[in-house]
Amino acid sequence: MTVKVRSASQICFACLRAGDGVFASITTEWRNRRTAASALLVSAVLAFVIGTGVYFLDRSWSSVLFLAPLADWQPGSIGLFGQFGNSLPSLAHAYAFALLVIVALGPWRWARPAGALSWLLVACGLECLQSPAFRATFAPVYSVSANLADGGPFFDFMMNGRFDAVDLAATVAGVLAAYAVSSVLETQQ
Amino acid sequence: MLTAMLFAAGIATTIATGGGGSGSQPPPPPPPAMLAITADNALDVSTVLVVGIGMSFDIGEITGTDVGGAAAASPRLLKLMRVADLPSKPFPNGSAKLESCFLDGTVDVTGTFADPNTLTVGDRIIAVFTDCDDGDGFVISGTVDLTVSAVQGNIMTEVFLLGFDVLLTDVEIVEGTSVILVEGEFAMTLDSLAFPVISQRIAGTELSLAVGAESINFSGLDHFIEVDLGLMPEEILATVSGRMGGDLIGGFVDYETTVGIQAVGDNEPYTGEILVTGAANSSVRIVINDSTSVTLEVDTNGDNVVDQFIDTNWAELNGNTSTINASTAPVIAREVIHAVTGFGSVAITPGSQFVSMAPFGLIKLQAVSGDFGPTDVNCAAAGTAAVSGTIASAGTFSAGDLLTAAFTSCARAGEVLDGSLDVAIATYDELPGDAYLLTATVTETGLARNAGGNTYTGDGVIDVSHDYRYTSQGFTYLNATATSFTVGQGGVDRLLSGASVYGEIMASAPPVTIVRSSSGSVSSPAIDGDYVYQSVTPDTFVFDADPATGPVSGALQVTASDGSILTIVAIDDLNVRLEVDYDGNGFADTMIDTTWAALQ
């Protein structure tokens, strides 16, 4: 059967006319995808919340930019996450954002590797900027080019952050986890 | 678009949280509590405070200017920032300059200047030091970030005021065997508007000093020092206040000068009081009696009544706990002897390389000029020396010539050399007959000299004057000084401060005889604290290849911080007597007869 489409507005109708089987397949796939994407979004948000919880519950608020204004009201660290709290935010953040990027890249066939790899590069790059070698190279150039009296938050991030190989490993683990979990997108296709 | 927004959000949240990780640091401990001051910890608290305050002024000196000396006209700050010559080398905005430090290492300077010809409020200078050694006695690494907050007067004159917001990040200062890690954020003001009265103020949020695993943290600090250079010796006034904590004392205390601290010249302060307050208003008042003694008035229950007086002295408060007794005297004697002999051994080396059969002398005979080398020259007996440098005039040396020699088993006249030395010639007066007078600044880097059956290594900078003019038949003369120098022997490094040696060397006929006077102070891993040494009678040393022998005559006095004294008296080339004066009253309490071999 040949379907002739005379205008874009007719595409949907053309599909309908093309046969209920094709339409049903597309809508089922779309529904599955949406369900899978929703599940992934929920898991990303959960990871983000857990990571944020570490800052609220275990960290000194004064050392965290977004909590520093509230530092005077910090009730005290409860140490809920213990040693895991050291690198859990790195892992959760990498997992959440790698997943979100993968989902955002949508049905593109390379969404998983591209999303995971691109976030891996960004997250690892940011961590490496806190290492003395990178910091010595980039911080002065950045701060001068930015021409901010106090260097700004990015300068503070580089200068006051502490590079840690364990955080780097947690970042890699988070991205790999996102890559693995996002396979649900493909299995649902 | 959605993806781009996600990336932006991801990066923003990473920055907002400081990078996610905590650097594998455990969750921050609860804030340290205020320390209760007791009779037991009052001395420790006072010692940590005095040492910490001293270090804070040192940091200011390193970052800023040497207010204790006559360097107001050339602030070290400007020297360090390499902008002392701003007018001659305008500094393009945002540009980075990587420069070599005077002796070793680099400094990468980036600047933003409203006016490239001078400093203006808002200008910013960021210097990233990498093992930078400017010959000031310390090596610095890390980032110094300065934003100009105030400028008055002309910084190129002696009369100016400079204000800086200072951010120190991962700054490491290595001075001899001491390594200090510094983090800090404070405002610094250098004021010489009332020259010759100059001052430095460090006031700000925090200053953290760490030596090894131990740290001192200052917060809300305001440390001020004023020096009147118009008086000789100069008069110094200091006031301090703030809060000090750190794992060295296990809590925090507040401190404040209640009577200004005053000192003269390089001496310890002679008057002043610091009130240190801890938990429940407990306190210790540091009362300076004179430039030697200090009394601690301890109020343990906060009722403003002194519960205990503790008599101490500046040496103890400065953390110098050296003492000499019968059991420590042999070890101290050994360390001092190695320091003195080693410094003399490596100090004599540079000047002797200019005789005609030595590497620099051979280069002179080759009539080299301009930049040259490295050129391998054969040493007189065995081995080689790779010589390079810059010589202005062929066939001689002159001020400004730079010479470097890297020795490889270079043997001559009873010595074997390895390692390297750099010589910056200040003066070179040449006379006929292989005779000369040399003055130079010498940098020795792992220079090992084997002579007389012992091998000493030298690391550091020495100012030498070596007189080879034979004004007295057969004699040459050596004068050498070093602010800070390391002598190695037997796997042990001895750190010398303010070291000097004067030697008369009679080498015209064997055996070589050396008459030597020494002074300085020494510390080493084998002994606690610093020991000051001074020749009472010059050593007379008849040179042979037997390490079991020593000077045939002479006396060297060693003084510990508690005033105890050790006098090392040479009996003959084999025997030596150690006279120990516990209380420093001039009378020996114990005498130990031993041998030079036993002190090796």
* pLDDT above 70 coverage of chain A, percent: 61
| CA B461/CA B11 separation, integer angstroms | 49
Closest partner CB to A89 (pick from B20, B25, B94): B20
Q: What is the pLDDT confidence band of residue B26, given thresholds at 50, 70 and 90?
A: very low
Give the Å distances, CA to CA, from B122 to A149, B48, B127, B149, B165: 7, 36, 16, 6, 10
CB contact under 8 A, A65 and B18: yes
Q: Which of B304, B227, B217, B299 is closest to B252 using CA atoms? A: B217
Q: What is the pLDDT confidence band of residue B74, given thresholds at 50, 70 and 90?
A: very low
CB contact under 8 A, A144 and B124: yes
CB contact under 8 A, B17 and A65: yes
CB contact under 8 A, B28 and A154: no
pLDDT of residue A5: 37
pLDDT of residue B271: 93
CB contact under 8 A, B18 and A63: yes
- Pairing type for strands B253-264 and B370-378 reads unpaired
Chain B residues within an 8 Å CB radius of A104: 2-3, 6
User: Does residue B241 register a pLDDT over 90?
Assistant: yes
Q: What is the average per-residue pLDDT within B486-491?
A: 91
Tokens of B158: 């002696």
Mutate to test the interface with B, among A105, A126, A148 (most CBs of B within 10 A): A126
Q: What is the pLDDT confidence band of residue A33, given thresholds at 50, 70 and 90?
A: low
What SS3 class is residue A117?
A: helix
User: Does residue B18 register a pLDDT over 90?
Assistant: no
Tens digit of each residue's pLDDT (9 = 90 or more) over B294-333: 999 999 988 889 999 998 888 788 777 778 888 889 999 9
Chain B residues within an 8 Å CB radius of A59: 22, 27-28
Tens digit of each residue's pLDDT (9 = 90 or more) over B175-214: 766 788 888 888 888 888 888 888 888 888 888 888 777 7
Q: Lowest-pLDDT range, B126-130, B144-148, B172-176, B380-384?
A: B172-176
Chain A residues within an 8 Å CB radius of B30: 76-77
From B132's Cα to the closest Cα of chain A, the distance in A is 14
User: Does residue B24 register a pLDDT over 50?
Assistant: no
User: Does residue B518 register a pLDDT over 90?
Assistant: yes
Amino acid in position B75: P
* pLDDT above 70 coverage of chain B, percent: 90
The angle, 0 to 180 degrees and rounded to 10, between the axes of the packed helices A20-57 and A11-18 is: 120
User: Does residue B439 register a pLDDT over 50?
Assistant: yes
From B38's Cα to the closest Cα of chain A, the distance in A is 29
pLDDT of residue A172: 92
Residue entry with tokens 């530092």:
A71
Length of chain B equals: 600
Q: Which residue has the higher pLDDT, B401 or B114?
A: B401
Tens digit of each residue's pLDDT (9 = 90 or more) over B61-71: 665 544 433 33
pLDDT of residue B13: 80
| CA B33/CA B25 separation, integer angstroms | 20
Q: What is the pLDDT confidence band of residue B390, given thresholds at 50, 70 and 90?
A: very high
- Other CB atoms within a 10 A radius of the CB of residue B501 amount to 24
State pTM to two decimals: 0.55
- What element of type H or E holds B166? strand B160-175
Do the Cβ atoms of B101 and B224 come closer than 8 Å? no
User: Does residue B365 register a pLDDT over 70?
Assistant: yes
Give the Å distances, CA to CA, from B105 to A64, B441, B567, B596: 35, 18, 41, 41
| CA A140/CA B485 separation, integer angstroms | 34
pLDDT of residue B75: 41
Chain B residues within an 8 Å CB radius of A100: 6, 10
Q: Which residue has the higher pLDDT, A187 or B323?
A: B323
| CA A149/CA A32 separation, integer angstroms | 52
From A4's Cα to the closest Cα of chain B, the distance in A is 33
- Pairing type for strands B435-451 and B527-542 reads unpaired
User: Does residue B536 register a pLDDT over 90?
Assistant: yes
| CA B87/CA B74 separation, integer angstroms | 14
pLDDT of residue A139: 65
pLDDT of residue A150: 55
CB contact under 8 A, A149 and B124: yes
Give the Å distances, CA to CA, from A86 to A1, A19, A96, B102, B293: 63, 57, 17, 42, 49
Chain A residue closest to B9 (CA)?
A: A97
| CA A185/CA A175 separation, integer angstroms | 16
pLDDT of residue B93: 52
Centroid of chain to Cα B521: 12
Amino acid in position B190: L
CB contact under 8 A, B19 and A86: no
Do the Cβ atoms of B48 and B249 come closer than 8 Å? yes
Q: Which of B593, B589, B588 is closest to B578 using CA atoms? A: B593
Q: What is the pLDDT confidence band of residue A143, given thresholds at 50, 70 and 90?
A: low
User: Does residue B167 register a pLDDT over 90?
Assistant: no
pLDDT of residue A11: 40
Closest partner CB to B27 (pick from A79, A97, A127): A79
Chain B residues within an 8 Å CB radius of A159: 143, 145, 167, 169
As a whole number, the mean pLDDT across chain A is 72
Tokens of B119: 């400093």
Mutate to test the interface with A, among B14, B93, B131 (most CBs of A within 10 A): B14
Closest partner CB to A167 (pick from B20, B124, B167): B20
pLDDT of residue A142: 66
What SS3 class is residue B122?
A: coil
CB contact under 8 A, A86 and B15: no
Residue entry with tokens 């190989």:
A165
Q: What is the pLDDT confidence band of residue B268, given thresholds at 50, 70 and 90?
A: confident
pLDDT of residue A3: 37
As a whole number, the mean pLDDT across chain B is 84
Which range in B199-208, B421-430, B543-552 is most confidently predicted, on average pLDDT? B421-430
pLDDT of residue A43: 85
From A12's Cα to the closest Cα of chain B, the distance in A is 26
| CA B38/CA B349 separation, integer angstroms | 54
Give the Å distances, CA to CA, from B388 to B377, B392, B408, B421: 11, 13, 14, 11
Q: Lowest-pLDDT range, A33-42, A102-111, B123-132, B273-282?
A: A33-42
Q: Lowest-pLDDT range, A16-25, A147-156, B285-294, B542-551?
A: A16-25
Q: Which residue has the higher pLDDT, A42 or B557?
A: B557
